[in-house]
Amino acid sequence: MNMNLPASRTPNFIRQTGLSLVEMMVSIAISLVVLSGVVNVLVVSKSNFISLREMSALQENARFALKYMTDEIRMSGASGCSAPVQVGNAINGGSAAWYMSGVGLKGYEYDAGINTFPADFRASVRTNTDALAISRGSSTGLQVTGHNANSAVISLATNTSYPQGTIFVMGSANCDAVGIFQMTGPNNGNANNIVHNTGGSIAPGNCSKGIGVAPTFASADCTTAANLANVSFGAGATLSLLQSEAYFVGNSESDSTVPALLRQRMALNTGTSTPYTLSEELVQGVENMQILYGVDRIVSSTGAVGNDGLADVYVKASGITGIAPWIWSNVVSVRLTLRMRSINPVYANNETYPVFEGITGTDGTDRYMRQTVSSTVMIRNYKK
C-alpha cells in the first residue's frame, strides 16, 4: 500500500532558530531593570557600610582621645603629696624647659601666637588649635628608707636599675615638700641608692645637691639657687619618675592629610643620659582641640572669693597671666572640647560644617563626617 501523501497535504514543520528583534529588546529591557536594581542595592549597601564604618571609627577614636586626655589631666601635678608646701627644682635650666620645670599643668592658646608654644613641637601644631602640657610623678614609685641630704644619697628598700640622667620627683615623708632632680649616680645600675649631687658628666645636671627649699620660700629653682637647701626628706618619702607630656593636634605621621592627636613626650637619650622630647601619634581623626581652664580664688572689687577648690570662671590659656589670682596653681579644672573628623570622605556630596567654638576659619565644605565631644575634668592635685 502506498502511504505517500500528496505534496499539498505534507505537514509544514518550521523550527525556531533564534529570537526575534522584539523579543530581544524586551529581554534586554527586563535585564537592564533587574541589573539596575541590583547595582542600586549594591551602591546603597556600600554607602551605608562606609558610613557605618567611618562613624564607628570616629566614635571609637573620640572615646579613646577623650578618655586618655581626661585621665592625664585629672592626674596632672601628682607628686606623691596632695598639697606640698614647698617645691624645689635643682635641675639646671629646668625652669626654662617645659618638660623639666616641675609638676603641674600649663596650656598654650593658639590665639596668643604660635611662638608661645614650646619650640620642640610648635611647627607641628595645626592652625587654630590649642595645646596642653602635663607634668607629674609616675603612678608607680620606689620605697625610700632614708635620705642623707649632705651626701645627696637616697636609700631604697630594693635595688633599681634606672640609668644616670633620669629625672625624679620626691615627696617628703610628711608631705611638706617636693624635690625635683636629675639622677647623677650610681653609674653601674642595680643599686639600692640614688645620688642627686652636682657635677659629673650628666646634662643638664643639678645646680645644687639640695632639693629642699629654705624656710619662708614656697618654691626655688636654679634661677634662685640660693633658696635651695639641704633638707632631708626622710624615710617614708615617695620617689617616682617625672612624667612630662604635651598634647596637641597635628598631622598624622602615616598620612599628612589626616589630622591626629599627637603627644610630645620626655625621654632619656641612652647615649648621653640627656633628657629630650620625642613626638608620638596617639589617635587619628582629632581635627581641633580647644581648652578652657577653671580658675579658683577670683578677686573682685569686694575682696577675694572662692578658695574652695571649685572653678569660679573658665578662661583661655592666654588669660592665665601669671599674676595672682591668674596663675596656673589656681587652675582646678579643665574643659576640653574636641572636634572629630572621619578618616575618609563619607557623603556623596559636599556638606557644609559650621564654625567650631566661635573660631574664625574653622568652617568649610567637604564630604567628611564630623562630631564634637567635650568633657570637664577636675584636677585631683589642686593645691588649696
* Contact indicator for 195, 266 with CB cutoff of 8 Å: no
How many angstroms separate the CA atoms of 122 and 268, rounded? Answer: 21
Domain boundaries along the sequence of the chain: 55-378
Contacts of 267 (CB under 8 A, 6+ apart): 275, 276, 277, 278
How many angstroms separate the CA atoms of 162 and 179, rounded? Answer: 18
pLDDT attached to residue 341: 96
Contacts of 219 (CB under 8 A, 6+ apart): 86, 87, 88, 89, 102, 213
DSSP structural state of residue 226: G
* Contact indicator for 332, 381 with CB cutoff of 8 Å: no
**What is the grid cell recorded at 157?**
628598700
DSSP 94-156: TTTSTTTS-SEEEEE-GGG-GGGS-TTTGGGPPTT--EEEEEEEEEEEEEEEEEETTTTEEEE
Give the Cβ contact number of residue 373 at 10 Å: 17
Global pTM?
A: 0.86
- Phi and psi at 338, nearest 5°, equal -120, 140
pLDDT attached to residue 115: 94
Pairing label, strands 177-182, 86-89: parallel
Contacts of 119 (CB under 8 A, 6+ apart): none
* Contact indicator for 73, 136 with CB cutoff of 8 Å: no
CA atoms within 13 A of residue 49's CA, in its CB half-sphere: 6
pLDDT attached to residue 7: 56
pLDDT attached to residue 97: 93
Determine the Cα angle at 147 with ends 145 and 153, to 5°.
Answer: 110
Q: Which helix (H) or strand (E) holds 64?
A: helix 21-74
Kindly list the averaged pLDDT for each block of 10 residues, start to end, along the chain of length 384: 56 64 79 79 69 90 97 92 83 93 94 94 97 93 93 94 93 91 86 91 93 92 94 93 97 96 94 92 98 85 68 95 90 97 92 94 94 95 68
Q: Which helix (H) or strand (E) holds 21?
A: helix 21-74
* Residue from 158, 185, 150, 180 nearest 240 by CA: 180
pLDDT attached to residue 124: 96
pLDDT attached to residue 12: 59
* Residue from 296, 326, 257 nearest 107 by CA: 326
Question: CA dihedral defined by 289, 337, 258, 369, rounded to 10 degrees?
Answer: -150
